[in-house]
Amino acid sequence: MANNSLPEFPMIDWCFDIEMYYASSEQNIAAQMRNTFQEYKQFSFRYNGVLTSILVALGLAGSLLLLKQIYSSHVFSKRLAIHLGMICIWDSLYLVACLATYGVPSLLYGMIPVYGVMAYILFLLQPFASFCVSCTIWQVFAITLERYLAVSKPLEQRARTARFAAGWLCAAIAAGAFVLNLLPVPFERQLVPCFEIVGSRLRNHTLLKPYDDGNSRLYRFVVHFFPDLIFRAPLPIIFIGTLTVKTIHACNQRSVGNVQLTSQINRNIPLRLYLLNFKFILCNTLYMFNTILLELLGYGESVESNEEGLIDRYMNSFYLTDASNMLLNSRRLAGMTLTSSYRVVPVKPRVAEFVLRRIVPVKRSIGIEILTKICSSNPEMVPAIVGTQKSLPDGELYSCIPSFQNKGEQIGQFVEQVLKWFCDRGRDEGIRQLGRRLGHAYYHSNIQFSAEQWKIIRAQVVAIIIRHTLKEPFPKEGCCSVEELQETLTRVFNFVLCEMRSGVLCAAVEAKKRVKLFALQSPGQIWNNRASVSGVWAVPQDPTKRPRSQNGRRRCSLQNNGLLPLLITEASSK
């Protein structure tokens, strides 16, 4: 007898719901499976739903805070800021995709369905989440490689970054991740119509199912496992960890002459980097383990048999996938760690603007006074400043010498430009480059100041600027105090000194490589190498107009553009 209570089934797929299948089954194992599904639904609600939503909220907050800190401070260079900003964007997009595919559905359904609205969400956002993970890994790899090359080969890295813009590199990363993660999707998944039995009625939906149920393991190996092995985990992760260790080791070995430069490094930074890399490796390696177990070996792939081992493996595959996603979500909390690790340059723009308004009319006299004060404390600088090798008599008025006045005027212009840079908080790299060029010139001079001498120079410079700033009384609104002026100008000086140190480090690496090249090359080749290396640091100009010293050594003239004040000039002989 025909059963008239049920409608005639259409010749389309049934909306697959394994929980409903066992709920209507009379098999002996049905009761056990219903209990198993109920336990998993509770687990999924707590961890995939509640905990994932909390991690997503914290991860988004950390990424947004880090993004704000990157573009509101002067700590990061423009290129590094682009890389870190893209990592924040990829992490944020990944978290949103996880919230849509795991967090909210687990709160609503417990077990995530593969039909209805969720079919479209899973079809679009699951591959997009993998796309974001790949972009993050490659972006971190790019940063790690550039930082390592910047420490080990600064000259080559500067030339390389000038040729390859960060924007094009980010576009190449996105294109590669698209090919790896999104391009195969239309050939592996499909959205088909399906029907759902609701009481005595049929409801039409859309079902997400594999495009070809018979995909061989060879196809999975070629399309998924092998590319993931090379481009996602573990090879990129191993390279990231190795280069991080080498970079930290190279930074710890940095020195200028016999002086180590690691005394002021925060000892927590290497530990943080090691922990972040360990978490990065752990989270992405579990994903690779799941890829091998579930896709390549077919763990828990079939539930057609009632064999207890197969059903247990099928349910365990759910827990493994959830654990992998949870670790990937927790890795996104690195934004919080990075936010607390990097400090914003603590210079108040309003104080810098106030000082700038007061000193612009008298910047020339300020520069000459600063140079006079420094030369009075360090008489050995005077011959280099005035362009003579003879010692000047004691008590001679330096400020009456034209070359002395010109360099003092350049110092005043430099002070103005530095304060403008802190006022507008722009991302212009000009001040950084000028500071590093000054450090390069300082390294090649015959004058080397000790730490105590730099402290004295800093105190003298700050005192002169404050005295000129306070020649007029403070405005009635009281924009700042003398203490704030002292603190702000000290921090500005320290910033310039830090950029000078970067130039000194690059010059030290250059000098070491030059010595090695001199030892390997013939005397006729030495001059060519010397000219090409020193030219990296020189301001671009007509080569025929570059001055040479008496012994034929080419100087790195850094004052031709009128922007960089040379407290010192490179010695003509050593």
d(CA 524, CA 102): 68
pLDDT at 178 over 90: yes
| 471-485 pLDDT tens trace | 877 776 666 778 888
SS3 for 170? helix
pLDDT for position 542: 36
d(C-alpha 503, C-alpha 515), whole Å: 18
Question: What is the reported pLDDT for 384?
Answer: 66
The CATH 1.20.1070.10 portion of the chain extends over: 13-341
> Percent of the chain beyond pLDDT 70?
58
Name, in order, each residue with C-beta under 8 angstroms of 32's C-beta and a sequence gap of 6 or more: none
The arithmetic mean of pLDDT across residues 251-266, rounded, is 52
Other Cβ atoms within 10 Å of 467 Cβ, number: 11
C-alpha–C-alpha distance, residues 149 and 32, integer Å:
59
Beta strands in 150-232 (DSSP E): 189-198, 201-210
- Residue 344 CB neighbours (<10 A): 12
pLDDT(50) > 80: yes
Average pLDDT across the chain, whole number: 71
The larger pLDDT score, comparing residue 320 to residue 344, is at 320
pLDDT at residue number 340: 46
- pLDDT tens digit sequence for 77-93: 778 888 888 988 998 89
Q: pLDDT-based confidence at 272, cuts 50/70/90?
A: low
DSSP code, position 400: G
pLDDT at residue 428 in the model: 52
Does 505 score more than 60 pLDDT? Answer: yes
**291 band by pLDDT with thresholds 50, 70 and 90:** low
Question: What would the mean pLDDT of 220-244 be, rounded to a whole number?
Answer: 81
* For range 143-161, the mean pLDDT: 74
pLDDT(45) > 80: yes
**Helix 117-152 with 235-252: angle, nearest 10 deg:** 30
Asked if pLDDT for residue 514 goes beyond 80, the answer is no
pLDDT of residue 162: 58
Pairwise pLDDT comparison (63 vs 71), residue with the higher score: 63
* 353 pLDDT above the threshold of 50: yes
Task: Tell me phi and psi for residue 206, to 5 degrees.
Answer: -120, 135
298-319 mean pLDDT: 56
Confidence of residue 3 (pLDDT cuts 50, 70, 90): very low
Lowest-pLDDT choice from 162-171, 261-270, 547-556:
547-556
> How far does CA 298 lie from the centroid of its chain?
37
Assess whether pLDDT exceeds 80 at residue 436: no
pLDDT above 90: percentage of residues in the chain: 3
Least confident of 59-63, 91-95, 158-162, 201-205: 158-162
Average pLDDT over residues 379-390: 64
Per-residue HEC secondary structure of 452-488 comes to: HHHHHHHHHHHHHHHHHHCCCCCCCCCCCCHHHHHHH
Look up residue 192 and give its DSSP letter.
E
What is this structure's pTM? Answer: 0.63
Residue 114: strand, helix, or coil: coil
**Given a cut of 60, is residue 122 above it in pLDDT?**
yes
| Residue 128 predicted with pLDDT over 90 | yes
Positive or negative, the CA dihedral 527, 529, 532, 537 is negative
Given pLDDT bands bounded at 50, 70 and 90, which one contains residue 177? very high
- For range 176-190, the mean pLDDT: 88
Residue owning tokens 């009128």: 562
CA pseudo-torsion sign 157, 158, 162, 163: negative
Q: How confident is the model at residue 175 (pLDDT cuts 50, 70, 90)?
A: very high
Say which residues have a Cβ less than 8 Å from residue 559's Cβ, sequence separation at least 6: 407, 410, 565, 566
Please give the Cα distance from 167 to 83 (Å, whole number).
Answer: 9
Distance CA 476, CA 109 (A): 64
Pick the CATH number of 349-540 from 1.10.490.10, 1.20.1640.10, 3.30.160.100, 1.10.260.40: 1.10.490.10
Chain region(s) in the chain for CATH 1.10.490.10? 349-540
Fold of 13-341: Rhopdopsin 7-helix transmembrane proteins (1.20.1070)
pLDDT above 80: residue 121: yes
For residue 216, the model assigns a pLDDT of 67
Per DSSP, what are the bridge partners of residue 210? 189
What pLDDT band is residue 264 in, cutting at 50, 70 and 90? Answer: very low
Strand order, beta sheet including 201-210: 13-14, 189-198, 201-210
User: What is the pLDDT at residue 171?
Assistant: 92
Query: Contact at 8 Å (CB) between 196 and 203?
Result: yes
| Predicted local confidence at residue 146, as pLDDT | 85
The two three-digit tokens of residue 321, written as one number: 């996938």
Give residue 325's pLDDT band: very low, low, confident or very high (50, 70, 90): low
| pLDDT at residue 310 is higher than 90 | no
Q: Of 103 and 264, which is predicted with more confidence?
A: 103
For the stretch 53-65, pLDDT in tens is 888 888 888 888 8
Asked if residues 404 and 368 have their Cβ atoms less than 8 Å apart, the reply is yes
Say how far apart CA 156 and CA 160 lie, in whole Å. Answer: 6
Helices 482-520, 430-443: axis angle to 10 degrees equals 60
Which of 277-291, 296-310, 343-357, 484-498 is least confident?
A: 296-310
DSSP string, 2-19: --TTSPPPPSSEE---HH
- Compute the distance between CA of residue 448 and CA of residue 432 in angstroms, rounded to an integer: 21
Question: Which of 222-226, 431-435, 487-491 tops mean pLDDT?
Answer: 487-491
Mean pLDDT of 361-375: 84
Residue 350: DSSP 8-state: H
For residue 529, list its beta bridge partners: none
DSSP state of 569: -
CB 103, CB 52: distance < 8 Å: yes
Residue 348 has pLDDT above 60, yes or no: yes
Per-residue pLDDT, 74? 60
pLDDT given for residue 532 in this prediction: 37
Q: How many other CB atoms sit within 10 Å of the CB of residue 267?
A: 7
